[in-house]
């Protein structure tokens, strides 16, 4: 990366920041300051708008740069990520979207706590939501840092730190000033930009091979040095059984985690009805599916055109494959076309990170204010407006994320995302599904389901090779590794479900039949929905 | 069919619609959809259509839900009356039909795609030789299976949206208005 690519990229990125800040001020000009407005954007987005916003929230830099990079380096094994990320949406569509829209108001805890003794359940669900959000947030911050390091030609730690701080500051501004309405519009703008950029690159790759996908695959396989093995699973997750189980664990976390991500759940409250929530998920599945299909073309295209050696040379984990591909497709490093296309791709990647980060910050500030603060504040404390607390919480979450982002900057982005998915699937999904579908589910069951998934997931990560015991770990000099897998999902997700069941059958409390009737009727008909 | 449309419409217009904007929109969607359906006659080709017209709605729901709680309204507090209404609605034939339809689609669909996905992941990790078997040109079993996952996801999404639109939405909407009217009446009566 030489200097002449930087200026146009930074220019484009500044335009995006200016436009989004413009949206934020324009939106906050006539805001009402109500919780409805701040958390749910007034609930009046159309299904198409919300579908684009969901896609914008979901297609993070880890997908755009990470998945295509993995395909460029490991061929077929990268594609497995895309499949998991997409299939997960069927869980959301079938079991979660409409019912959650009908039962809740702003957060996951609204749904789970509706039938239960409210305080402990709210604290549990709020805690796990904030944990998931912070993990996801740190992944995006680390991604932002790597992207800047790439763009500024690895000029060192200072630029990287400033990128993390800058992203954090911007997201706090978006969220605390603009609330859900501004965040949603930023997601929509970003989704359009990202999809537009991906379509252009995909068309260029296919044109390069005269529309012959088979030719593209064969070139990629030849160039990779692995031959036909490049197009089959096993290059990354083959090998010993630990690696294979690790992949199964990741696959399980990906497909079950999406439905427990707080920033995805909160998107369903921005539309007026459950039917609109369903239609926005249908839009989102179409957009996300199309996006991952194009990512496959880009990944194999990068392998065929740039070559895995060059990709690995620029960034060991492959994150720079797509920008390098853009440079080549535009006509090479010294051409105007190459420079412009490179600038567009990096600016889009930045925009992606900013938008995703804003969405997660909003969801976690909602959990802090609506769930934790509302349950934990002292009874005699001066009651503050919940929205004020949420704005302050957004600043707090921003500071925490910047701090952790600076600490964790050497961790792998895809791993952090996988971890966030695993925790969401272990802690949030069991409680959510049980409370929607199980009549006998009790307060103790709900609390156990959340902590019974959350704690094992976090403990297993601490005991995993990610933290200690191998040269790539966070603390390579120490060895307290007792759990062989990097992703805890395979163990912690079943534990979450078992804990919820165990808590329910051992509790003396008998589930309130009328409360369950209310949940069931409301979830399927929308009666009394906010 | 026509009577059913009119009913939904009349319910939508009723004074009980709290939260004016959202319900106006829902009502709007409903009108638009009813128009499309009557114009396109798509609905009548659905093999489930007859069951839909006779299974719920016209006779079953209204008397069953609306009278019992109404009679006891004054003797109960608002919350208890509301709880009672939700139980009544849950036991009503109309609601059970909506729930049955939802479950009969969702349970097999969830099992189906989950097993298919797990089989795919397990095959990719434990049987790479099988997955590497070439099919046509550079395309092998693994690529076809991966694209098959995309395809099945799109198809299931389409099928679910269609099923919900044709088989659940109208019944759910009617139940929603009825239930809200009852709970509002119960809460109002208690004050």
Confidence (pLDDT) at A132:
92
Q: Beta-carbon neighbour count of residue A383 at 10 Å?
A: 9
Alpha helix stretches (DSSP H) within B2-140: 2-13, 20-40, 42-45, 49-55, 61-72, 78-91, 93-126, 128-131
| Residue A87 to residue B128, Cβ atoms within 8 A | no
CA–CA–CA angle A523, A527, A529 (5° rounding): 80
Confidence (pLDDT) at B152:
95
* Facing B180 at nearest CB: one of A247, A296, A527: A527
| Residue A285 to residue B157, Cβ atoms within 8 A | yes
Q: Beta-carbon neighbour count of residue A227 at 10 Å?
A: 10
Residues of chain A in contact with residue B110, where contact means CB-CB under 8 angstroms, are 90-91, 94-95
More confident residue, A46 or B82: A46
Residues comprising chain B, all counted: 191
| Residue A233 to residue B124, Cβ atoms within 8 A | yes
Q: Do A217 and B138 meet the contact criterion of CB atoms below 8 Å apart?
A: yes
pLDDT at A420 over 80: yes
Task: Please state, rounded to an integer, the average pLDDT across all residues of chain A.
Answer: 85
In whole angstroms, give the CA distance from residue A395 to residue A399: 6
Question: DSSP for B124-153?
Answer: HHH-HHHHT-EEETTEEHHHHHHHHHHHHH
The boundaries of the domain holding residue B172 are 2-190
Write out pLDDT tens, residues A62-71: 777 888 888 8
If phi over 0 gives left and psi between -120 and 50 gives alpha, with beta otherwise, what is residue A332? left
Domain count, chain B: 1
Tokens of B32: 């638009």
Contacts with A, B 31-60, CB within 8 Å: none
Q: Domain A3-406: state its class.
A: mainly alpha
ipTM of this complex: 0.90
Write out pLDDT tens, residues A491-500: 999 999 999 9
Residues of chain B in contact with residue A229, where contact means CB-CB under 8 angstroms, are 132
| Residue B22 to residue A217, Cβ atoms within 8 A | no
Contacts with A, B 82-111, CB within 8 Å: 82-84, 86-87, 89-90, 95, 98-99, 102, 106, 109-110
Confidence (pLDDT) at A381:
59
Confidence (pLDDT) at A74:
87
Write out pLDDT tens, residues A319-345: 778 888 888 888 777 778 888 888 888
For the residues A221-238, what does the mean pLDDT come to? Answer: 81
Question: DSSP for A286-328?
Answer: HHHHHHHHHHHHHHHHHHHHT-HHHHHHH-TTSTTHHHHHHHH
Q: How confident is the model at residue B15 (pLDDT cuts 50, 70, 90)?
A: very low
Return the C-alpha torsion angle A105, A106, A112, A113, nearest 10.
-70
Write out pLDDT tens, residues A350-399: 888 888 888 888 888 888 888 888 788 766 555 567 788 888 888 988 88
Nearest CA among A153, A64, A157, A23 for reference residue A344: A64
Q: Beta-carbon neighbour count of residue A336 at 10 Å?
A: 10
More confident residue, B187 or A77: A77
Q: Beta-carbon neighbour count of residue B12 at 10 Å?
A: 21
Q: Do A348 and A197 meet the contact criterion of CB atoms below 8 Å apart?
A: yes
| Residue A248 to residue B132, Cβ atoms within 8 A | no
Taking the model in full, what pTM does it have?
0.84
Relative to beta strand B134-136, strand B139-140 is antiparallel
Q: How confident is the model at residue A215 (pLDDT cuts 50, 70, 90)?
A: confident
Q: Do A74 and A235 meet the contact criterion of CB atoms below 8 Å apart?
A: yes
Q: Beta-carbon neighbour count of residue A11 at 10 Å?
A: 11
| Residue A524 to residue B98, Cβ atoms within 8 A | yes
Q: How confident is the model at residue A31 (pLDDT cuts 50, 70, 90)?
A: low
* Facing B87 at nearest CB: one of A86, A237, A517: A517
Residues of chain B in contact with residue A94, where contact means CB-CB under 8 angstroms, are 106, 109-110, 160
More confident residue, A519 or B25: A519
Contacts with A, B 134-173, CB within 8 Å: 134, 136-140, 142-143, 146, 149-150, 153-154, 156-158, 160-161, 164, 168-169, 172-173
Write out pLDDT tens, residues B41-50: 333 333 333 3
Q: Beta-carbon neighbour count of residue B39 at 10 Å?
A: 8
Q: How many CA atoms lie within 13 A of B8 on its CB side?
A: 25
Q: How confident is the model at residue A147 (pLDDT cuts 50, 70, 90)?
A: confident
């Amino acid at each position: 990366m030489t200097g002449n690519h930087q200026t146009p990229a930074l220019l484009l990125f500044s335009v995006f920041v200016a436009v989004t800040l413009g949206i934020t001020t324009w939106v906050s000009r006539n805001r009402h300051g109500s919780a409805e407005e701040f958390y749910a954007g007034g609930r009046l987005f159309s299904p198409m708008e919300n579908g684009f916003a969901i896609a914008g929230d979901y297609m993070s830099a880890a997908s755009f740069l990470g998945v295509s990079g993995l395909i460029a380096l490991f061929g077929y094994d990268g594609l497995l990520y895309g499949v998991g990320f997409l299939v997960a949406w069927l869980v959301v569509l079938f079991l979660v979207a409409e019912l959650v829209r009908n039962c809740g108001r702003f957060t996951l805890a609204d749904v789970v706590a509706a039938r239960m003794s409210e305080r402990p359940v709210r604290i549990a669900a709020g805690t796990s939501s904030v944990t998931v959000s912070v993990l996801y947030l740190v992944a995006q911050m680390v991604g932002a840092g790597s992207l800047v390091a790439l763009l500024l030609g690895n000029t060192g730690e200072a630029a990287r730190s400033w990128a993390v701080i800058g992203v954090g500051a911007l997201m706090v501004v978006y969220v605390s000033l603009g609330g859900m309405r501004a965040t949603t519009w930023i997601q929509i703008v970003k989704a359009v930009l990202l999809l537009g950029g991906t379509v252009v690159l995909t068309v260029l790759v296919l044109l390069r091979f005269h529309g012959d996908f088979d030719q593209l695959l064969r070139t990629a396989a030849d160039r990779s040095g692995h031959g036909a093995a490049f197009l089959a699973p096993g290059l990354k997750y083959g090998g010993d059984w630990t690696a294979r189980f690790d992949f199964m664990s990741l696959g399980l976390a990906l497909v079950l985690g999406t439905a427990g991500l707080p920033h995805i759940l909160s998107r369903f409250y921005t539309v007026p009805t459950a039917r609109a929530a369903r239609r926005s998920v249908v839009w989102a599945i179409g957009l996300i599916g199309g996006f991952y299909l194009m990512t496959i073309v880009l990944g194999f295209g990068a392998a065929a055109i740039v070559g895995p050696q060059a990709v690995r040379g620029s960034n060991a984990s492959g994150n720079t494959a797509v920008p390098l591909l853009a440079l080549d497709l535009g006509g090479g490093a010294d051409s105007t076309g190459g420079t412009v296309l490179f600038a567009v791709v990096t600016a889009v990647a930045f925009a992606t990170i900013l938008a995703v980060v804003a969405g997660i910050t909003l969801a976690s500030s909602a959990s802090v204010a609506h769930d934790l603060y509302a349950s934990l504040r002292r009874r005699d404390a001066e009651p503050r407006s919940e929205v004020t607390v949420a704005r302050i919480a957004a600043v707090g979450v921003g500071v925490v994320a910047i701090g952790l982002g600076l600490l964790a900057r050497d961790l792998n982005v895809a791993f952090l995302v996988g971890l966030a998915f695993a925790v969401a699937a272990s802690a949030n999904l069991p409680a959510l599904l049980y409370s929607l579908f199980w009549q006998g589910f009790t307060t103790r069951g709900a609390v156990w389901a959340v902590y019974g998934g959350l704690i094992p997931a976090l403990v297993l990560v601490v005991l995993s090779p990610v933290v200690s015991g191998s040269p790539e770990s966070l603390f390579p000099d120490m060895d307290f590794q007792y759990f062989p897998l990097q992703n805890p999902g395979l163990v912690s997700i079943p534990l979450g479900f078992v804990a919820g069941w165990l808590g329910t059958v051992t509790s003396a409390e008998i589930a309130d039949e009328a409360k369950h009737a209310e949940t069931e009727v409301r979830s399927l008909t929308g009666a009394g929905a906010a | 069919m026509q009577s059913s449309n009119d009913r939904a419409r009349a319910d939508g217009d009723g004074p009980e619609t709290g939260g004016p904007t959202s319900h106006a929109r829902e009502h709007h969607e409903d009108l638009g959809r009813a128009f499309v359906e009557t114009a396109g006659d798509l609905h009548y080709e659905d093999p489930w259509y007859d069951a839909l017209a006779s299974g719920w709605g016209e006779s079953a729901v209204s008397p069953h839900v609306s009278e019992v709680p109404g009679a006891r309204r004054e003797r109960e507090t608002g919350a208890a009356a509301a709880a009672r209404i939700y139980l009544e609605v849950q036991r009503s034939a109309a609601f059970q039909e909506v729930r049955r339809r939802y479950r009969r689609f969702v349970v097999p669909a969830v099992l189906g795609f989950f097993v298919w996905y797990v089989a795919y992941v397990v095959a990719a990790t434990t049987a790479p030789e099988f997955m590497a078997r070439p099919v046509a040109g550079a395309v092998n079993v693994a690529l076809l299976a991966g694209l098959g996952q995309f395809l099945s996801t799109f198809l299931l999404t389409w099928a679910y949206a269609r099923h919900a639109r044709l088989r659940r939405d109208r019944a759910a909407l009617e139940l929603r208005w009825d239930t809200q009217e009852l709970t509002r009446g119960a809460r109002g009566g208690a004050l």
